Structure 1
Amino acid sequence: MFKGGLYCKRNAYRLCRHKSSFATALAAASRLVTPKIMLSNPVSLVSNEMNTLAKNIMALIGSGHPTLNRVTSYYFEAEGKKVRPLLVLLLSRALAAIPLNQRDHVKVDSEDVPEDPVYSKPPHMLLFEQPVRNFSPLHVLHGIKPLNPLTKGPEPLPQATFDQERGILPKQRRLAEIVEMIHTASLLHDDVIDHSDTRRGRPSGNIAFTNKMAVLGGDFLLGRATVSISRLRNPEVVELMSNSIANLVEGEFMQLKNTAVDGDPTTIQFGKKELPPLSGKLDNKVHEYHVPVKYEANITHDQMIETAFEYYLHKSYLKTAALISKSSRAAAILSGARENVIDQCYEFGKNLGICFQLVDDMLDFTVAGKDLGKPAGADLKLGIATAPVLYAWKEDPSLGPLIRRNFSQPGDVERAAGAVAKYDSVSKTRSLAQDYRDKALSNLRAALPESDARSALEFLTNSILTRRK
């Protein structure tokens, strides 16, 4: 642990023990409406679905090559947090508490498949449709006549996976599996990009196999995920979930080349490598949904900090919150909920996702690697300025050059870590995370009626601030 780590650990411990009056009141209220078992384990409400999650995913990702199967299943073997599918399943149960006569906003596009009998059914019947097995012939999808059971294609979910009491629709269950596939693919890619050695307490995919196999395994998972997305037969959900993959990539690029602090658009790798000159043959403009960056020489320190924070939060959304927010919105769409509920579910996922990333960035300063399940202090060593560093930079302008050169010189990492401790930046980051937590709780209450599932979501949302891995 770098210098200042001990201070940060003690400080974080004190912060974990401290709860605001709002959080205390919320915890007390939760106990009044939450079954006792759920207070310690929100998974209990969706235990059937979570227990079979990995098994169902294996049916979706099987290939004809045993080594590829080994790579793609590697991270599913470990006991990960599985927060993203858990959120989708709990949200799906909470949405089921909305009466069917208030869920009349089924998103389908019958214009695309006018002769398909599925779309001739009443809207409410469409909610209970299973994901289809496949559209194209299997010999076309796999490129070979069946040689072994893996070429059959995934089995549809058993009809028993939906019952009126639990309320999780077959397509919502498949959505939870898709979300975990996309997330796991991003982990395989991230560990290669970040040169990670460990993940979930054991060798990372790139170490256990090779960089090339880890990248290809992640690509294969994304390919299988997009196939499963298409089989949900909902155009908006297909668009949302496919775009969440693009969001992940764009967020990584924002991290690799931080244009908020690096005003040179002609170089990458911390200024060490020049980009090829533009040919002028194509006009590939940046779309309007991006963070405006100020390159003026006379920009004030406060303006620079404001821009850096805006950039950081947008990057955090794309890298972490986009998949959570879009899958939350997709779960609401598949439930047939009305537009205001769909919008609130999206905002819930967005605010929760940013809160999750803020806490993740705090843990990089406060928790040892053996507890995290991955290397601690990795962000600074990778040249990444997260919220704790930005708060320290606000107080100490001399950190600016270190951030611009991505902590690449000897002593930069230690100096930045010391500044984080000196200016109590971890507690400031925690306060920002609490703001996003509170917004997420408000979104839940605006979107969903009272239920055990909503209480579980509230409990889970609060618990993010006290997680240790």
Structure 2
Amino acid sequence: MVVVDSVFAPIENDLLALNRNLKNMIGARHPVLYAAAEHLFTAGGKRLRPAIVLLCAKASSENSEIFSSQRRLAEITEIIHTASLVHDDVLDECSTRRGIQTVHNVFSTKIAILAGDFLFAQSSWYLANLENLQVVKVISKVITDFAEGEVRQGFVRFDLQYSIEEYIAKSFYKTGSLIAAGCQGAAMLSTSDAQISNELYMYGRYMGLAFQIVDDILDIVGSTAYLGKPAGSDLLQGNLTAPVLFSLPETFQLAELIEKEFSDTDNLSYALNLLNKGSGIQQAKDLAAEYLQAAIECLNNLKDSSNKELLKKLTLTVLERIN
């Protein structure tokens, strides 16, 4: 995306350094663990989380400076995110991620679980070496939140009683928590102003929720080439997301297909067709837009700067992924 690239331009060199450092940071004694972890890093990804951390670092500092501790925090957030993806793919039985085979498909389920655990352990080691107890507390809770989100998701697959409020709570645990903590941690490492760090936490929280909703819309409207996995993959797993939940009151056929758990071969394509015809996707877009507006308002007390404007610009690009 051209707009996102322009937002990231001021931190382009930092992101290039991050990509190099990630592989160095996962240097494991066992070559199979290293290869499994490197496999997903090599696939790239949006690097949204570390980019937001770096932009928050610049926006909350006196001289638009990024400290080495903040660069390391950006790397830690990406390692934690990658570890969660490795485990998610095992739980969801995904065959591809970012257009390449998932770790458990290339190696084995056992190796994938160990690789995810290893990445979580590595992130904890580097986090401890920041030697900032408050940041350690904020970031370490994210790993607990991931587990909470997965447990919640596991118990409500194909559950037609699942509510939009429960979906938002689960989305915070699985996506919003890490982005929120990264934003807050970046501010904590550059300023002692608790109000600024708390507002950046809320900025990240709203950004994370909006980003998850947009991802869930893309699962329905995106192409396999764009997603790096088949469209409707989440729905096929029984994960009822915002566009699905908003669509359910409109069509009884969708509920029937979900109750059948898409047992017939054409069920999923029929469900995707129903979703594209209804208003659920637009309602989900509207909800994401509300969260993005709330995120922008969280930046009001930051000092005016080009970095603050970049954060606003980045916020506005989230919806452009589905327009």
The separation in 2 between residues aligned to 1:339 and 1:41, in whole angstroms, is 30
Counterparts of 1:121-270 in structure 2, within 5 Å, are 166-258=64-156, 261=159
Which position in structure 1 is the counterpart of 2:278?
423
Are the counterparts in 2 of residues 384 and 406 from structure 1 also a CA contact under 8 Å?
no
Deviation at 1:368, TM superposition (A): 0.7
Cα separation, partners in 2 of 1:381 and 1:94, compared to 1, 3 Å: same
Which position in structure 1 is the counterpart of 2:22?
57
The separation in 1 between residues aligned to 2:286 and 2:87, in whole angstroms, is 31
Cα separation, partners in 2 of 1:40 and 1:180, compared to 1, 3 Å: closer
The separation in 2 between residues aligned to 1:64 and 1:171, in whole angstroms, is 25
Cα separation, partners in 2 of 1:454 and 1:310, compared to 1, 3 Å: same
Aligned partner of 2:291: which letter?
A: Y
Cα separation, partners in 2 of 1:234 and 1:431, compared to 1, 3 Å: same
Counterparts of 1:97-112 in structure 2, within 5 Å, are 97=62
The separation in 1 between residues aligned to 2:146 and 2:35, in whole angstroms, is 24
Post-superposition Cα deviations, 1:318-357, rounded to whole Å, max 9, x if no partner, equal 0111000111111111122312112111110000000000
Total equivalences in the alignment:
321
Q: Does 1:453 find its partner at 2:307?
A: yes
The separation in 1 between residues aligned to 2:140 and 2:212, in whole angstroms, is 21
Q: Which of residues 443, 449, 454 in structure 1 aligns to 2:298?
A: 443
Q: Which of residues 42, 50, 56 in structure 2 aligns to 1:77?
A: 42
Cα separation, partners in 2 of 1:327 and 1:459, compared to 1, 3 Å: same
Deviation at 1:408, TM superposition (A): 4.3
Whose helix proportion is higher, 1 or 2?
2
Q: Which of residues 55, 76, 79 in structure 2 aligns to 1:90?
A: 55
Cα separation, partners in 2 of 1:260 and 1:242, compared to 1, 3 Å: farther
SS at match of 2:12: helix
Which position in structure 2 is the counterpart of 1:359?
214
Q: Which of residues 194, 200, 203 in structure 2 aligns to 1:345?
A: 200
Aligned partner of 1:231: which letter?
A: N
Deviation at 1:451, TM superposition (A): 1.3
Q: For structure 2, which runs of at least 5 residues remain unmatched after alignment?
A: none
The separation in 2 between residues aligned to 1:406 and 1:220, in whole angstroms, is 38
Are the counterparts in 1 of residues 203 and 299 from structure 2 also a CA contact under 8 Å?
yes
> Percent identity among equivalent residues?
36
Deviation at 1:72, TM superposition (A): 1.4
Deviation at 1:252, TM superposition (A): 1.1
Post-superposition Cα deviations, 1:10-62, rounded to whole Å, max 9, x if no partner, equal xxxxxxxxxxxxxxxxxxxxxxxxxxx98852222112211110222233221
Greater relative contact order (Cα 8 A, min sep 6): structure 1 or 2? 1
SS at match of 2:299: helix
Which position in structure 2 is the counterpart of 1:387?
242
Aligned partner of 2:80: which letter?
A: I
Q: Which of residues 12, 26, 38 in structure 2 aligns to 1:47?
A: 12
Counterparts of 1:316-327 in structure 2, within 5 Å, are 316-327=171-182
Which position in structure 1 is the counterpart of 2:320?
466
Aligned partner of 1:96: which letter?
A: S
Cα separation, partners in 2 of 1:406 and 1:47, compared to 1, 3 Å: farther
Aligned partner of 2:68: which letter?
A: P
Deviation at 1:416, TM superposition (A): 3.3
Cα separation, partners in 2 of 1:38 and 1:199, compared to 1, 3 Å: closer
Are the counterparts in 2 of residues 407 and 413 from structure 1 also a CA contact under 8 Å?
no
SS at match of 1:374: coil
The separation in 2 between residues aligned to 1:183 and 1:68, in whole angstroms, is 17
Deviation at 1:432, TM superposition (A): 0.8
Are the counterparts in 2 of residues 368 and 376 from structure 1 also a CA contact under 8 Å?
yes
Q: Which of residues 303, 309, 313 in structure 1 aligns to 2:168?
A: 313
The separation in 1 between residues aligned to 2:270 and 2:228, in whole angstroms, is 25
SS at match of 2:28: coil
Are the counterparts in 1 of residues 214 and 319 from structure 2 also a CA contact under 8 Å?
yes
Cα separation, partners in 2 of 1:456 and 1:426, compared to 1, 3 Å: same
Aligned partner of 1:212: which letter?
A: K
Larger Rg: 1
The separation in 2 between residues aligned to 1:431 and 1:244, in whole angstroms, is 27
Are the counterparts in 2 of residues 240 and 326 from structure 1 also a CA contact under 8 Å?
yes
The separation in 2 between residues aligned to 1:337 and 1:369, in whole angstroms, is 45
Aligned partner of 2:7: which letter?
A: P
Cα separation, partners in 2 of 1:202 and 1:400, compared to 1, 3 Å: closer
The separation in 1 between residues aligned to 2:78 and 2:260, in whole angstroms, is 31
Cα separation, partners in 2 of 1:192 and 1:38, compared to 1, 3 Å: closer
Aligned partner of 1:244: which letter?
A: V
Deviation at 1:256, TM superposition (A): 1.0
Post-superposition Cα deviations, 1:91-138, rounded to whole Å, max 9, x if no partner, equal 1000014xxxxxxxxxxxxxxxxxxxxxxxxxxxxxxxxxxxxxxxxx
SS at match of 1:168: coil
